[in-house]
Amino acid sequence: MREMKEGSAGLHVSSLGDEIVGRINELAAISEAPAHLARVFLTKEHRAAADLILAWMRSAGMRAHLDAIGNVCGRYEGERPGLPCLMLGSHYDTVYDAGKWDGPLGLLTAISCVADLNRRGRRLPFAIEVTGFADEEGVRFASTLLGSRAVAGTFVESVLGTRDAAGVSMRDALVQFGLDPDHIGAAARARSELLAYVELHIEQGPVLEAKNLPVGVVTAIAGATRLAASLTGMAGHAGTVPMALRRDALAGAAECIGAIEAFCRTDEGGLVGTVGYIHAMPGATNVIPGQVSFTLDIRAPTDAHRKLAVTDIVRQIERIAKRRKLGLQVDVTHENRTVPCAPWLRRQVAEAIAGEGYPVFELPSGAGHDGMAMIDIADVAMVFVRCRGGISHHPDEHVEVADADAGARVLLRLIENFRTRDAAE
Ligand SMILES: [Zn+2]
């Protein structure tokens, strides 16, 4: 017979992981479609999610409000009011047919950490602020990081004119939501108010799982260059043009794609290159393709490395096009810089991970995050939490409760042992 401890049910205190996962599920129920998760900027689901998160912030002992762009902002004062803050955060918007962990895990973990400090009456020599960014994914207006850009003071006014798929401008959507598009500047924070910005996020990749580790230290958010390439040959009859006389743009593109993959595979510095889109013209079974366009996305942990790789890859594509007598046009369509995580903060993340008894493992982030905007007003660090199969932006996205709990304990230890840059260096 199993021995029952008297009153054990009443004494049971759930772990931080249990609380976080319970709230992840509650938040995931706020979706514009019942069958899949979708929660985008300035919708009634955005509002409902904000209200729920604000309530959780208040119950964690924070003052909380919605800012001028729709971010949720909570503040837990330090040993005395008005001290600069350690800012924690992540986003609470989603892609369409999303997983429920991307964004909310970092936000809800931060709130649970503050709640834990509050339960113990623990005040620190700095304030803690938790920010839930209203739009990171950029789903509705095809412009990313709107929430964190507003906080960093780098929100570009011209995006207010952008329209969603239904033709509603961002300006009108803000008004309908109850916000004033002419006062987004009020969301901006000053560098002097922030000691650092630290974000916990699911890895969205398979590396921690392969290493059998629940958490990792992010070294940098990889910059990206996107290119559009177009090869022009000569369309012709699939039956009558001899092989030696062909200028087949698709066969040329295939050789280019093979060369890009081979180039990136031999790189040992974390370079990744992806051809994710290809279009062949005229696109018929019995016609030699005369024109092919494809895209190329290249990322690396440093800007210098990425730029060198882009130069080398373009040179290879040029050589292939020349040998095959194909016309070539290559344009850069998008470029963003690498955001390095600050060494003084990385050390503290590593110490917190080691302090919880896990091996310290460092990895770059191939995906973009709010830190890319926050770097303009604060030094940035990130903690990654393992997710199953590395799957993200998909309903199969999954984090084990034990890993959510490990992430929370690491973040809490980091907060409680946090030293400012001056004290740390
Ligand atoms: Zn995210």
* Cis, bond preceding 84 (omega within 30 deg of 0): no
CA–centroid distance, residue 128 to ligand 1 (Å): 21
User: What percent of the chain lies above the pLDDT cut of 70?
Assistant: 97
CA–centroid distance, residue 201 to ligand 1 (Å): 7
CA–centroid distance, residue 140 to ligand 1 (Å): 15
CA–centroid distance, residue 216 to ligand 1 (Å): 16
Position 359 scores a pLDDT of 98
Give yes or no for residue 161 having a pLDDT over 80.
yes
pLDDT in tens, 379-409: 999 999 999 999 999 999 999 999 999 999 9
CA–centroid distance, residue 169 to ligand 1 (Å): 24
CA–centroid distance, residue 102 to ligand 1 (Å): 4
Q: What is the pTM of this model?
A: 0.89
- Mention every residue, 6+ apart, whose C-beta is less than 8 A from residue 148: 91, 133, 136, 370, 371, 372, 373, 374
CA–centroid distance, residue 34 to ligand 1 (Å): 21
Give yes or no for residue 1 having a pLDDT over 70.
no
CA–centroid distance, residue 362 to ligand 1 (Å): 19
Average pLDDT for 147-164: 96
The values of phi and psi at residue 57, to 5°, are -60, -45
Give yes or no for residue 86 having a pLDDT over 70.
yes
Position 382 scores a pLDDT of 98
Lowest mean pLDDT among 99-108, 135-144, 249-258: 135-144
CA–centroid distance, residue 203 to ligand 1 (Å): 9
If pLDDT is split at 50, 70 and 90, which confidence band does 7 have? very low
CA–centroid distance, residue 382 to ligand 1 (Å): 12
If pLDDT is split at 50, 70 and 90, which confidence band does 270 have? confident
CA–centroid distance, residue 369 to ligand 1 (Å): 6
Average pLDDT for 182-195: 97
Average pLDDT for 176-198: 97
Average pLDDT for 302-322: 97
CA–centroid distance, residue 104 to ligand 1 (Å): 8
pLDDT in tens, 409-423: 999 999 999 999 999
CA–centroid distance, residue 72 to ligand 1 (Å): 16
CA–centroid distance, residue 250 to ligand 1 (Å): 35
Position 363 scores a pLDDT of 95
Average pLDDT for 143-168: 95
Position 372 scores a pLDDT of 96
Give yes or no for residue 10 having a pLDDT over 70.
no
CA–centroid distance, residue 116 to ligand 1 (Å): 24
pLDDT in tens, 229-261: 999 999 999 999 999 999 999 999 999 999 999
